[in-house]
Structure 1
Amino acid sequence: MHSQAHDVGVPSLLEALRTGTALLHVALEKRLPFFCERLDAGWYQRLLPAYYGFYAPMEAALYDSGLIPEGFDQTLRVKTPTLLGDLNALGLDEAAITALPRCAELPTFDTPAACLGALYVLEGATLGGQVLRREMAQRLDINADNGGAFLNVYGAETGRRWKDFLDYLGSQPLDACAKERAVLAARSTFSCFEQWLDSQEVLL
């Protein structure tokens, strides 16, 4: 009972992450071009390699850290292979993909909490992808077969996998300091992603 009373008023990890990243999330969404009237096939074909240039090193750094708490299925949730398939569908061969620029300014994943913060951003993006998928299908006739699989990376499993991820987050016994590290890593992930996309000149 004592520990429960002590925890009253302390935000959960999910609440801390949502609150701590809300402004950065909104700011990035406003700059993404998916709903811009000027977005055309050419812009999309520059946007996807930019996404790959962030996700490939980001996921590699995360999964190679060895610090992700037990219970996260990396094989099930890795997104870089789907992006690779989309780039192939857009006409890029292995040599062209290898030559793509990659983000070198990544967040630091030196604690399990930091990994959780970054995963929160990457997993949360799958929900937004559902809206983007419909928009790209309607406007550019892009689907899972011709360069849009990443936007629907989990398909019909999207909702369930997000709920599973939230359950996973909720099961992590993080103290206040660890929660703060998770939030800092999530904020850094948003910031690094926006700065990278900006450097690739694909944002509004």
Structure 2
Amino acid sequence: MQAKAREVYVPPVLQDLRAGTAELHIALEKRLPFFSDTLDTQAFERLMQAYYGFYRPLEQALQASNAIPDDFDLTPRLKTATLRADLQAMGASAEALASLPLCAELPRINSSAACLGVLYVLEGATLGGQILRREIAARLGLEADNGAAFLDVYGAATGRRWRDFIEYLGSRPMDAAERAAVVRAAQTTFSCFEQWLERQEVLA
């Protein structure tokens, strides 16, 4: 008699997020130029400038929102300082950094549900950075110490940090309306990010 495979429980909010963002995620992934033949160091720098122009105002909005759950520590998950250090490592001056365009069309963070929807996208991108890190190291010779720390911002803790976030998300009691708000914020984050990168002319 065959042993029955153990079914892994997936919290409803995670089911909703996966279903609600899959198409947006795939569409954006296809257009990101990390694996493009035309990506050189200069193009990578422009791409990271565009990332900085999105992450900086979005993380500021998260911090100013008063919507971060009391039991969630956002500080160790902020990425702007790492992006700034990467750009400086690639030669950007303080003046150049100060003059980079910043995205003004951001998702609305007006509830803890919206906050978690935004973070789902940002934390998922950090997990995906592990594959990109290897590609950029092999192709451009960029590592954590000379311009690509953002792609490995959590280092060896990346997998654990992602699991911790997903467990936290799944453990929060949410009704259907709150789950819908989480998904809506995640969808808007994907859309805002893609539109921003499009305007910065860094997508494939």
Contact 2:65 2:110 in 1 (8 A): yes
- Name the structure 2 match of 1:121: 121
1:191 maps onto 2:184 in alignment: no
1:176 maps onto 2:179 in alignment: no
Contact 2:11 2:170 in 1 (8 A): no
- Name the structure 1 match of 2:52: 52
Contact 1:71 1:168 in 2 (8 A): no
Deviations 1:6-28 (A, max 9, x none): xxxx9611111111000000000
1:77 maps onto 2:77 in alignment: yes
Distance 1:148 1:72 in 2: 27
- Equivalent position amino acid for 2:18 in 1: R
Using the TM superposition, give the Cα deviation of residue 94 of structure 1 relative to its aligned residue in structure 2, in angstroms.
Answer: 1.3
- Name the structure 2 match of 1:43: 43
Determine helix, strand or coil for the equivalent of 1:135. Answer: helix
User: How many percent identity over aligned positions?
Assistant: 62
Equivalent positions of 1:27-42 (< 5 A) are 27-42=27-42
Distance 2:182 2:192 in 1: 15
What is the RMSD computed on CA atoms of the aligned residues?
Answer: 1.1
Equivalent positions of 1:8-157 (< 5 A) are 12-157=12-157
Deviations 1:77-127 (A, max 9, x none): 111111011011011121110100000000101111111100000001111
Q: In structure 1, list runs of 5 or more residues that go unmatched.
A: 1-9
- Equivalent position amino acid for 2:93 in 1: D
- Equivalent position amino acid for 1:75 in 2: T
Using the TM superposition, give the Cα deviation of residue 172 of structure 1 relative to its aligned residue in structure 2, in angstroms.
Answer: 1.2
Q: Cα gap change, 1:133/1:112 in structure 2, threshold over 3 Å: closer, same or farther?
A: same
TM-score if structure 2 supplies the norm length?
A: 0.93
Using the TM superposition, give the Cα deviation of residue 34 of structure 1 relative to its aligned residue in structure 2, in angstroms.
Answer: 0.3
Using the TM superposition, give the Cα deviation of residue 71 of structure 1 relative to its aligned residue in structure 2, in angstroms.
Answer: 2.6
Runs of 4+ displaced beyond 2 Å: none
- Equivalent position amino acid for 1:201 in 2: E
TM-score if structure 1 supplies the norm length?
A: 0.93
Determine helix, strand or coil for the equivalent of 1:71. Answer: coil
Distance 2:183 2:74 in 1: 21
Q: In structure 2, list runs of 5 or more residues that go unmatched.
A: 1-9
Distance 1:171 1:94 in 2: 42
